[in-house]
A = this chain, B = another copy of it.
Amino acid sequence: MHTIRFFTSGESHGKALTGIIEGVPAGFDLSPEDIDRDLKRRQGGHGRGGRMTIESDRAEIISGVRWGKTLGSPIAVSIENKDWKNWLAGMSVLAEDRGSIPPVTRPRPGHADLAGALKYDMKDMRNILERSSARETAMRVALGAIAKKVLADFGIVIGSYVMQIGNVRAHGEIPADDRALVRLFKEAERSSVRCPDEKTSRAMVRAIDRAVKGKTSLGGAFTVFAAGVPVGLGSHTQWDRKLDGRLAQAIMGIQAIKGISFGDGFAMASLPGHAVMDQIYYAASARSEGKAFYRRTNHAGGIEGGMSNGMPVLLSAVMKPIPTLRKPLMSVDVRTKKEFSAAYERSDTCAVPAAAVVAEAMTALVLADAFIEKFGGDSKKEMKRNFRGYLSYLKSF
Contacts and interface: CB of A to CB of B under 8 A. Distances in A.
Interface in A262-320: 262-266, 268-274, 276-282, 291, 293, 295, 299-301, 304-310, 318-320
13 contacts: A1-B3, A9-B73, A27-B120, A109-B280, A119-B378, A121-B393, A165-B269, A247-B252, A258-B261, A258-B300, A260-B261, A273-B325, A280-B332
Interface string A344-379: 000000000000000000100000000011111111
Interface stretch (A49-57, A86-94, A186-194): A86-94
Given A118-B232, A329-B274, A291 B337 contact: yes
A232 to B, nearest CB: 3
A40 interface: no
A96 B179 CA distance: 33
Contacts of A228: none
A291 B393 CA distance: 31
A389 interface: yes
Contacts of A231: 114-115, 118-119
A240 B249 contact: yes
A31 to B, nearest CB: 6
A219 B374 contact: no
Name the residue in A95, A109, A255 with the highest tally of chain B Cβ atoms < 10 Å from its Cβ: A109
Task: Say whether chain A's binding surface is mostly helix, strand, loop, or mixed.
Answer: mixed
Chain A residues touching B, range: 35 or more
B262 A258 contact: yes
Contacts of A375: 376-377, 386
A200 interface: no
A242 B72 CA distance: 14
B262 A112 contact: no
Interface string A191-216: 00000000000000000000100101
B325 A279 contact: no
A5 B1 contact: yes
A381 interface: yes
A209 to B, nearest CB: 13
Contacts of A238: 7-8, 22, 74
Contacts of A167: 270
Given A2-B1, A231-B118, A63 B218 contact: no
Contact of A116 (B61, B130, B277, B307): B307
Given A248-B248, A250-B239, A258-B301, A321 B273 contact: yes
A327 interface: yes
